[in-house]
A and B are shown apart, each in its own frame.
Chain A
Amino acid sequence: QVQLQESGPGLVKPSETLSLTCNVSGGSMSYYHWSWLRQPPGKGLEWIGYMYSSGNTNYNPSLRSRVTISVDTSKNQVSLKLNSVTAADTAIYYCARAYSGSYWHYLDYWGQGALVTVSS
């Protein structure tokens, strides 16, 4: 059974960099799009982006200038870095695996989420 687990600081100061790690267990990291999403408490879901196992990335244009997603297959980890954060970046951050086929691309496994608060 594939499991994803996010970890990282729960509090980040404004203008600093948010860094989260997602540990993946129970399955191969190859041939999947490793994704990050976020959800401000009580609000909707925002897709941040993904890195394919080959190294290709695709980011939300609204965050592209500030975000980096990386995959370390040797450690079974996916990382998220978001720099120059503000209070608007306060959210639950989810790591998820996306499975793609000829006519589909969907998030089939999710971590439990990590709440990150941006505050001084």
Chain B
Amino acid sequence: DIQMTQSPSSLSASVGDKVTITCRASQSISTYLNWYQQKPGKAPKVVIFNVSSLQSGVPSRFSGSGSGTDFTLTIRGLQPEDFATYFCQQSYSAPYNFGPGTQVEI
């Protein structure tokens, strides 16, 4: 199985800040890396797929980068609605494991 790690596990930020979350895969996963946002009591929602492709309807302040095993989600100009938990997921090889999540707090 491919294991996914994320750092940090949580972070505190303010509105307007730039936030960076990193995700590492235990082996190369090509471009099969997705990022999901989850708010309390809600289902996750995809924000970035294929490393850097912005899902329709997601604000352009979200961006993704990386290759191979190391990936980054960046939020530029954090907004109140961005406070949530973010999970990375590899979909290169089943089981399509998720990272443990990064909680972005005010």
Q: Which residues of A contact B (CB under 8 A)?
A: 44-47, 49, 58-62, 94, 96, 98, 101, 103-108, 110-113
Contacting residue for B32 out of A45, A47, A58, A104, CB 8 A: A104
User: For the complex, would chain B's binding face be called helix, strand, loop or mixed by DSSP majority?
Assistant: loop
User: For the complex, would chain A's binding face be called helix, strand, loop or mixed by DSSP majority?
Assistant: strand
Contact A104 to B53, CB < 8 A, known contacts A44-B100, A61-B95, A62-B95: yes
Q: Which residues of B contact A (CB under 8 A)?
A: 1, 30-32, 34, 36, 42-46, 49-50, 53, 55, 87, 89, 91, 94-101
Q: B91 to A106, Cβ gap below 8 A?
A: yes
- 18 additional A-B pairs beyond A49-B94, A107-B89, beta carbons within 8 Å, are A44-B98, A45-B101, A47-B89, A47-B98, A49-B95, A58-B94, A94-B43, A96-B43, A104-B31, A104-B91, A106-B49, A107-B34, A108-B46, A108-B55, A110-B45, A111-B43, A112-B42, A113-B43
Q: B43 to A61, Cβ gap below 8 A?
A: no
A60 to B95, CA, bound (A): 5
Contact A105 to B91, CB < 8 A, known contacts A44-B98, A47-B96, A47-B97: yes
